[in-house]
Copies of this chain bind each other. A is one copy, B any other.
Amino acid sequence: MINAKALATRALDEDVAHGDLTTSATIPLGVHGQGAVLAKEALVVAGQPLAAAIFAEVCARYGGEVRYTERIADGGAVAEQTVIADVEGDLHCIIVGERVALKLLMKCCGIATNTRRYVDAATETGPAVVDTRKTTPGLRAVEKYAVRCGGGKNHRFALYDGVMIKDNHVAAVGSLTEAVRRARAVAHHLVRVEVEVRTLEELDEALNTPADVVLLDNMDDETLAEAVYRARERRPSVLLEASGNMTPGRIAAIRDLGLDFVSAGGLIHQAVWADLSLKVKPTPRLGL
């Protein structure tokens, strides 16, 4: 569901543009090579369709042919020193695209691996772990895909496919109740309305509105427990989401409170790139 070709075009326009000076000078088109994508640390695999699209776009520009063959599908967890894919074909094209392809893999695997830690902390019986809109501009679809590879779920994609009433909206409208009323009146009937609360008093107010989801933001464990209790008492069907610097440790601590969702921007923005390499070498061409 990611427009991988558009991403590849943009990424290669940025990195290659009118030419890879080094590779053009040193490696002619027509030399055959092969290599392997190696996980240099334990990680959850993600982003391989993007890597494949990078090589496809390089080939579309320069005329070679490159085959990206997955050994481990996206979503799989691998140990250090595992080869996750083979890359074979025109050596020139492999080397031109190598860094961009690898970066996308490193970014995606980093997010997926990071997400997996949060998901493991929640366990199967705890709340679903979801992402937020704190994504890198221009790469949201990529990063949200990586979250799914890591076992997380996505929250709304953007401002246009879900209503989320935050403190800024409440402050502007003057009351949480009125903000929910306005939103429900205007939003189409296939989106739900979520409202953020920070105190039990705000929660009480929210439970009197037709909000479908309540976001319990930045509450300590005790308040959170009380909030879940109150909500379940008064509006059994309301969905409850908790947020606020959620780490795997915090998630483990609150996983049995009865929350439906825990959202964490950190799935994406606290992830660092996973360590992978792509080493290639010229080979006698065997068939192809």
**Residues in A lying within 8 Å of B, measured CB to CB:** 1-3, 5, 7, 10-11, 14-27, 31, 33, 60-62, 91, 95-96, 98-100, 103-104, 106-107, 130, 133-141, 153-169, 171-173, 179, 182-183, 185-192, 194, 212-213, 237, 239, 241, 260-261, 269-270, 272-273, 279-282
Chain B min CB distance to A137 (Å): 4
User: In whole angstroms, how far apart are the Cα atoms of A91 and B174 in the complex?
Assistant: 13
- Contact status A33-B172, CB under 8 Å: yes
A sample of 20 cross-chain residue pairs with beta-carbon separation below 8 angstroms, ordered by A number, consists of A1-B18, A10-B137, A15-B159, A17-B160, A18-B141, A20-B159, A21-B160, A21-B187, A22-B166, A23-B159, A25-B187, A96-B159, A99-B134, A103-B135, A134-B273, A138-B138, A156-B190, A157-B188, A171-B281, A172-B282
What residues on B are CB-neighbors of A60 within 8 Å?
5
Total identical chains: 6
Whole-angstrom distance between the Cβ of A231 and the nearest chain B Cβ? 15
Selected contact of A183 from candidates B22, B159, B185, B187, CB within 8 Å: B22
Contact A19 B189 (CB under 8 A): no
Given contact pairs A15-B159, A163-B190, A189-B239, a sample of 9 additional A-B residue pairs in the complex whose CB atoms are under 8 Å apart? A1-B20, A16-B159, A21-B186, A25-B185, A96-B159, A100-B137, A157-B160, A161-B190, A189-B192
Q: Are A22 and B169 interface neighbours, CB within 8 A?
A: yes
Within 8 Å by CB of A168, from B1, B153, B187, B279, lies B279
Q: Select one of B157, B191, B260 contacting A18, CB under 8 A.
A: B157
Residues of B contacting A3 in the complex (Cβ-Cβ under 8 angstroms): 61
In the complex the two chains form, is A171's CB within 8 Å of B280's CB?
yes
Judge whether A189 and B130 touch: CB under 8 Å. yes
For A91, the closest partner residue in chain B by CB is B172
| In the bound complex, CA of A139 to CA of B104 (Å) | 13
Q: Are B272 and A270 in contact (CB under 8 A)?
A: yes
Minimum Cβ distance to chain B for residue A244 (Å): 12
What separation, in Å, do the CA atoms of A241 and B188 have in the docked complex?
Answer: 12
Contact status B159-A160, CB under 8 Å:
no
A154 touching B190 by the CB < 8 A rule?
Answer: no
The answer for the CA separation of A21 and B191 in the assembled complex, in Å, is 10
Residue in A104, A161, A169 with the greatest tally of chain B CB atoms within 10 Å: A161
**Residues of B with C-beta under 8 A to A96:** 159
CB closest residue in chain B, given A100: B137
What is the chain B residue whose CB lies nearest that of A237?
A: B237
With known contacts A136-B139, A165-B22, A173-B26, A260–B153 Cβ distance under 8 A: no
The winner among A17, A154, A213 for most chain B CB atoms within 10 A is A17
